[in-house]
Structure 1
Amino acid sequence: MSGAIDRAAVSVRAVSKAYGGVPAVDGISFELAPGSFVALVGPSGCGKSSLLEIMAGIRGADRGEVVVGGRRVDRPIRSVGVMFQEDTTLPWRTVYRNVAFPLEASRRDRHEIAAKVEAALRMVDLWEHRTMHPAALSGGMRQRVSLARVLATDPSVLLLDEPFGALDEQLRLRLGLEVQRICREQGRTAVLITHSIQEAVLLADRVLVLSGRPATVVQDLEVPLPDHRSADQLGDPRVAQVVAKVWASLAY
């Protein structure tokens, strides 16, 4: 194994997947540096979610492999956290107990659970709402509960499949920036699937552009912005340049 691979937080190696004999993902390879934030963009139905599910160990690849922290991923593992677009809060549990749920399921010590839940809720600014039930929360707040639940398990890799896609554009961008900040501060590696090219460029260090099905990587673009991001940078000419390159790649 090469030194470059040793240093990668995530290695995706020649991954392919087909459904009923129809290819969905075709020989995709890339590596993610520790603490990096990478966005995946591509046409609807091109296989982005299938790729993310393979990276999470939820779905198996037909060929190739995914390695996280030196370990081959063939089932869900604790070091990889996943957040989807759907509201996954449990309506009968309070905010606090929603976040505690995966920790309770893994039989963590109650003192450890209390400390991790409080830290995660404070990270997403929901500690004051810990006794509320999801029905009393806005859609954005429920997604922050879901984010806190993932963060409480302390994953080194965070996989985000359009987590705020159902929210209005302003709130979606604000929560995306919040996730980006948390990942930066804690050194987590993140992969974001999004249909918004501007969101991808504003949040990510790299944008991987996928082709139409079967998905292949047609462009790997570096985003030349500082680590700290804000909505004001949407007007930065460097953002416009990368956005234009992404559009050109999607027309490939």
Structure 2
Amino acid sequence: MSAPEETVLRAEREGTTLVITIDRPKARNSVNLAVAEGIAAALEELDGDDDLVTGILTGAGGFFSAGMDLKAFLRGERPHVGDRGFAGITQRPPSKPIIAAVEGPALAGGCELVLSCDLVVASEEASFGIPEVKRGLAAAAGGLMRLPTRIPRTVAMELALTGDPMSAADAHRWGLVNHLTAPGGALDGARELAGRIGANGPLAVRASKQVIVSSPDWSSDEAWRRQGEILGPVLSSDDAREGAAAFAEKRAPVWKGR
């Protein structure tokens, strides 16, 4: 009888949120192909299910992720999945909002996982870094492109060129982290944030993310047109009418996602 396959990732529904947990604590939640494929499959579920509004990405055992599993890499594994890229997320994140819940270190590819998320809740003991240059490598899974859009360019440059880590307090001060929690509280903090997002109209939430993510690439001549193409269906939706009616009637809205 063959040995049962190791569980390396869990995807669990909690109301309108899908909690995705990298579950390789003995390997510091490093990303091998199985983890990448699991994340990609979970994101397909998140994007494809109208009952889900947000996702949370976290790591088990008090460690977010050390990035790519170098032992698996030396065996020939490449933890990339189709057009979603490294770890099944860095090149094509989900269309719905996803929150990183960070306990402990998020380093190298682990930091690039964080940067692929829209919001970050971190323990005061968390740390972030792209130390690839210390090994003669470079952060090629989006870190060098995304980090300067999330924190000041000069701070990002220092992190990239020295490879030194950044504390959770500094990450919060520079705007990478939305909320700090006590040690052990990052996932609950992310759940609370996801709940506040999930209380809103799902069409509006998804479209709002799309405009924020896409608009930096729009020229001034096309910006209003492109925004209108995305938001027009939201403003004419049943949910928009329900939101207005609920406000007028002083009751909680009942969203239908259409």
TM-score in terms of structure 2 length: 0.30
Q: Which has the larger radius of gyration?
A: 2
TM-score in terms of structure 1 length: 0.30
**Larger % of helix: which?**
2
**Larger % of strand: which?**
1
